Amino acid sequence: MFFLWLYMFYSCAGSCSGLATRGSPAPPRAAPPLPQLLPGEPGEENSLEEQRAAPDAASPISTFFNGSGTKRLPQAIIIGVKKGGTRALLEFLRVHPDVRAVGAEPHFFDRNYERGLAWYRDLMPRTLEGQITMEKTPSYFVTKEAPARISSMSKGTKLIVVVRDPVTRAISDYTQTLSKKPDIPTFESLTFKNRTTGLIDTSWSAIQIGIYAKHLENWLLYFPIGQILFVSGERLISDPAGELGRVQDFLGLKRIITDKHFYFNKTKGFPCLKKAEGSSKPHCLGKTKGRTHPDIDQGVVQRLRDFYRPFNMKFYQMTGQDFGWD
């Protein structure tokens, strides 16, 4: 019966169009849908225009064969932090059949808010009933306007923050910048306003991002603490399945991602997927992940640890978790 229906459909295509020509004018042809472009190498941020999904309009035939789906605003967002492990978490989560996520960072709530929610929704992948739409943009956590904007979209949005030892995070942040701008000043010179007095330059973003307690206070004005999950960047490396178990529970998902999905890559120094989303091959994050850090003066490292300690203690109290950074 199905093949008979297809035969009748395509047979009618020619004759029916002829009838339309002899009678009322045929309706204008719809523009062909834009091709859906594949995301780039994980770890590299692609332009949003390259990441946009195909238009919502779909023919009955394509809908029949490819399945239906709806573009929805995200129910969960990975909001931070930069160089904490957000890309790894997103790639791991995309293995789950009930998670659909944007590959690139939309930067909607910090850089593109004026484009409107319709533009934001159009970036999202199609999802079926029961699937979760997600995105990740680590700079949201340190963007003052982001909490109010996300709350305005949906007060029920679940938020995930991947945090990491703020000293290590700062060095990793600097290492990334150094790879793009080899002539920048040394880490030691950027760390201090005055090296003689030991005064830390908190205006430097690499330092400022790691004051997690300060940023969290802003989020708690709009979201209860129970609506924010804090993932340890260190445990994401040492026990990825354990951290992914917590994330799946938080999102209300069945625990499908387990130890069997990971293997440890000694060369990269972190876990990789045995099979990535849509692939049967092992997959590690791109070459921009796992860079070798420069040697930093240990006196400067210790001064930074002393600086961050009270902020870390406050962050532990606020979250109810001891991340063991001291």
> Does the pLDDT at position 302 exceed 80?
yes
Q: Work out the percent of the chain whose per-residue pLDDT is above 70.
A: 75
Residues annotated within the binding site for 3'-phosphoadenylyl sulfate are 83-87, 164, 172, 289-293
As a whole number of angstroms, the distance between CA 5 and CA 113 comes to 46
Neighbour-count burial for 131-148, b at 16+ CB within 10 Å, e otherwise: bbbbbbbbbbbbbeebbe
pLDDT at 286: 57
Strands 126-127 and 192-194: unpaired
Within 13 A of 257's CA, how many CA atoms are on the CB side? Answer: 32
pLDDT at 297: 95
- The pTM score is 0.77
The H or E element containing residue 301 is helix 298-319
pLDDT at 28: 40
Task: Say if residues 202 and 273 touch (Cβ distance below 8 Å).
Answer: no
pLDDT at 195: 85
Residues 132/133/136/137 CA torsion (nearest 10 deg): -140
Task: Say if residues 76 and 132 touch (Cβ distance below 8 Å).
Answer: yes
Other beta carbons within 10 Å of 89: 21
Residue 77 CB contacts under 8 Å (≥ 6 apart), including other chains? 134, 135, 136, 137, 140, 150, 157, 158, 159, 160
As a whole number of angstroms, the distance between CA 122 and CA 118 comes to 6
> Does the pLDDT at position 19 exceed 70?
no
Closest CA to 159 of 242, 89, 256, 261: 89
Task: List residues with catalytic annotation.
Answer: 83
Residues annotated within the binding site are 83-87, 164, 172, 289-293
Domains and CATH numbers, the chain: 70-319 (3.40.50.300)
Tell me which of 65-74, 256-265, 299-308 is least confident: 65-74
Mean per-residue pLDDT, 154-172:
98
Which CA distances in Å does 307 have to 185, 186, 301, 311, 313? 21, 19, 10, 8, 11
Task: Say if residues 138 and 78 touch (Cβ distance below 8 Å).
Answer: yes
Which CA distances in Å does 236 have to 45, 131, 145? 21, 23, 28
Q: Would you place residue 263 in the very low, low, confident or very high pLDDT band (cuts 50, 70, 90)?
A: confident
From the number of C-beta atoms within 10 Å of its C-beta (0-12, 13-18, 19+), residue 178 rates as: middle
> Does the pLDDT at position 60 exceed 70?
no
Residue 110 backbone phi and psi in degrees, to 5? -120, -40
Give the pLDDT confidence of 29-55 residue by residue, as tens digits.
Answer: 343 333 332 233 333 344 344 344 333
Give the pLDDT confidence of 209-246 residue by residue, as tens digits.
Answer: 999 999 999 999 999 999 999 999 999 999 999 999 99
Average model confidence (pLDDT) for the chain? Answer: 82
Q: At what angle do helices 212-219 and 298-319 cross, to 10 degrees?
A: 30
Mean per-residue pLDDT, 279-299:
73
pLDDT at 294: 87
